[in-house]
Structure 1
Amino acid sequence: MNAMRTFWLVLMLIGSPAWAFQSRVVTIPSAAMHRSFDATVVLPDQYVHGDPTKRFPVVYVLHGSGGDYTDWTANSHIGKLADRYHVILVMPDGGHESWYIDSPVDPRSRYETYVGTEVVGYIDSRFRTIATKQARAITGLSMGGFGALRIALDRPDAFGAAGSISGAVDPRGSEDEPGIERVFGDPSQHAEFWNSEAIVASAEDFGRDHIALTIDCGVNDSLVQSNRLLHERLVELGVPHDYAERPGGHTWKYWSNAVKYQVLFFAGTFRQAAREMRDGRAAV
């Protein structure tokens, strides 16, 4: 009998998940593009089974070129981070080759407005979020890394922290990417726009707008040089940021490891912001 009880106890332990986060798919309408898109939302266990009045910070995580809203959960263990750091994770659909911009040549492609305004508004209206910039962060991989930094720069009142993983931080180095001209326009005819969208062109704004910043890229990644140049420019300008290069290339093995450090960084910025708010109230 004791052996049988032991057997069932072991079986229950094996079958019980170590992480109790809940993942769900929501459909978010876009007035800017007159259509709706799916998004993956991961809620920490504490959201579902804890204090029903408690609110949570949010980390938006963008996919790369050719991907969709399922990429992160299908190819990494990102869901565990919701429980570990008590955050809501949101992975919106950014289209296959949108670059997360409001295209100057294709009025049907307004993914910066969608992700940076419409998705944020939807999530804040339907989940118990802390609806302030100090409790919002945005990051992404490759095309999504560019998109995260661009959206944060263009919406400094919405995001207090931003990151990039293996980011295509300078679209001028990606002119041969399929579909990029459809949203950016011809590089010769729209050179001013291409130049203005490069993250390095707006690097000082991260400091001016007090956006906590973390960037990393694999040393074997073809995009590492443009990331190094951005890092050097930020150092030159005296803009605070975290920068890391780790072994690896443009692969899910690299990205699924790197996102752990990025969410850890964001959790730290959320805690710091909360402390500063408490100290400010105490001073008053």
Structure 2
Amino acid sequence: MAYIQCRFFSEVLGLSTSMSVILPEPAASQIGMAGSNVAGPYPTLYLLHGMSDDDSIWMRRTSIERYVSNLGIAVVMPQADLSFYTDMAEGNRYWTFISEELPRVCRSFFPLSNRREDNFVAGLSMGGYGAFKLALRKPDQFCAAASLSGALNISHNLVDEVRGDKEITSLFKRIFGADGPQGTNNDLLTLVEEVAKQEGPKPLLYQCCGTEDFLYQDNLTFRDACHASGLPLTYNESPGSHDWAYWDAKIQDVLSWLPLNKTSN
């Protein structure tokens, strides 16, 4: 695998930003790496970070490079700050950046496929929210999405739970505005209902959460909403907390679940 960390100027954000990228390549000379002989354009997994992290975190806290070494898939890990992958009420347009500019820039830099069936998105915590928002708002672009311990019910339980924390409450107002995300296209529960009623392709969804996670009840609410709507959801729960031991294990399950052709040397 080839690991690339690059900076580029985002016209949407009006600033220089970063992303970490893994590209397939033969790896016979790399100890412990299977490698892949698949030629581009490559299927692509956009892998999103959580609230306290950055674009390098998946590389630093998991073995994601090793896990994808024989899959023939590129992994793009963008920087999104504390944005909840949203065009912020007071801040930058991270939704437009992630959903429109980032794929275009990545395909201009690297040989990545633009076919719907070759594009996937996953993330943890805030990134799980972002992954499902991308798939539900752009079902014509992403065929599958995975959330690991996602903040999937921010318009209800999460916002209610943090109202006693003035700093977090202020952050959510800066992101979503004074009225919050409830009932808007930043509300995943609203998006589930809308997508279920729409004609056209529906993204495959994979959701997992540890039973000791503080977001566990929110994940149950999202699971039940998907089941009620009929959206295709694979749900997994097991003992685990909101930590990297859980996410390092579960990202391997996500990679096994992705609908792609796995090729090895």
TM-score where L is the length of structure 1 = 0.79
**Against the structure 1 CA distance between its residues 28 and 133, is the aligned structure 2 distance closer, same or farther, given a 3 Å change threshold?**
farther
Asked whether the equivalents of residues 170 and 198 of structure 1 are also in contact (C-alpha less than 8 Å), the reply is yes
* Aligned-partner Cα distance in 1 for 2:209–2:224: 14
**Are 2:221 and 1:229 equivalent residues in the alignment?**
yes
**Are 2:183 and 1:195 equivalent residues in the alignment?**
yes
Asked whether the equivalents of residues 213 and 240 of structure 1 are also in contact (C-alpha less than 8 Å), the reply is yes
Which secondary structure does the structure 2 equivalent of 1:194 belong to? coil
Moved more, 145-154 or 42-51: 42-51
Asked whether the equivalents of residues 85 and 264 of structure 1 are also in contact (C-alpha less than 8 Å), the reply is no
User: Quick check: which one's helix share is greater?
Assistant: 1
**Against the structure 1 CA distance between its residues 44 and 218, is the aligned structure 2 distance closer, same or farther, given a 3 Å change threshold?**
same
Q: Which residue of 1 aligns with 2:71?
A: 85
Q: Which residue of 2 aligns with 1:101?
A: 86
**Against the structure 1 CA distance between its residues 245 and 206, is the aligned structure 2 distance closer, same or farther, given a 3 Å change threshold?**
farther
Q: Which runs of 5+ in 2 are unaligned?
A: 29-34
Bigger Rg, which one: 1
CA positional deviation for 1:51: 6.0
CA positional deviation for 1:148: 1.0
Asked whether the equivalents of residues 41 and 90 of structure 1 are also in contact (C-alpha less than 8 Å), the reply is yes
Which secondary structure does the structure 2 equivalent of 1:114 belong to? helix
**Against the structure 1 CA distance between its residues 135 and 205, is the aligned structure 2 distance closer, same or farther, given a 3 Å change threshold?**
farther
TM-score where L is the length of structure 2 = 0.85
Asked whether the equivalents of residues 132 and 147 of structure 2 are also in contact (C-alpha less than 8 Å), the reply is yes
Aligned residues: 243
- 1:202 counterpart letter in structure 2: L
1:231-251, CA deviations, whole angstroms, 9 ceiling, x for partnerless residues? Answer: 112111222111000210100
Q: Which residue of 2 aligns with 1:145?
A: 128
Q: Which runs of 5+ in 1 are unaligned?
A: 1-20, 273-284
Q: Which residue of 2 aligns with 1:64?
A: 50
Moved more, 48-57 or 167-176: 48-57
* Aligned-partner Cα distance in 1 for 2:37–2:149: 37
Match of 2:113 among 122, 126, 130: 130
Which structure would you say has the larger RCO, counting Cα contacts within 8 Å and 6 or more residues apart? 2
Asked whether the equivalents of residues 43 and 82 of structure 1 are also in contact (C-alpha less than 8 Å), the reply is no
- 1:74 counterpart letter in structure 2: R
CA positional deviation for 1:180: 2.1
CA positional deviation for 1:181: 1.9
Q: Which residue of 1 aligns with 2:41?
A: 55
CA-atom RMSD in angstroms: 2.2
Moved more, 232-241 or 85-94: 232-241
Which secondary structure does the structure 2 equivalent of 1:113 belong to? helix
- 1:264 counterpart letter in structure 2: S
Runs of 4+ residues deviating >4 angstroms: 47-53, 205-208
Asked whether the equivalents of residues 137 and 191 of structure 2 are also in contact (C-alpha less than 8 Å), the reply is no
Q: Which residue of 2 aligns with 1:276?
A: none
**Are 2:29 and 1:39 equivalent residues in the alignment?**
no
Asked whether the equivalents of residues 167 and 223 of structure 1 are also in contact (C-alpha less than 8 Å), the reply is yes
How many percent of aligned residue pairs carry the same amino acid? 27
1:176-215 equivalences under 5 Å are 176=162, 178=168, 179-186=171-178, 190-191=179-180, 193-196=181-184, 197-207=186-196, 208=198, 209-215=201-207
1:163-192, CA deviations, whole angstroms, 9 ceiling, x for partnerless residues? Answer: 111000111323227222211122xxx14x
Asked whether the equivalents of residues 62 and 148 of structure 1 are also in contact (C-alpha less than 8 Å), the reply is yes
CA positional deviation for 1:119: 1.1
Asked whether the equivalents of residues 45 and 121 of structure 2 are also in contact (C-alpha less than 8 Å), the reply is yes
* Aligned-partner Cα distance in 2 for 1:205–1:240: 14
Asked whether the equivalents of residues 206 and 212 of structure 1 are also in contact (C-alpha less than 8 Å), the reply is no
* Aligned-partner Cα distance in 1 for 2:126–2:10: 21
Q: Which residue of 2 aligns with 1:256?
A: 248
* Aligned-partner Cα distance in 1 for 2:38–2:229: 44
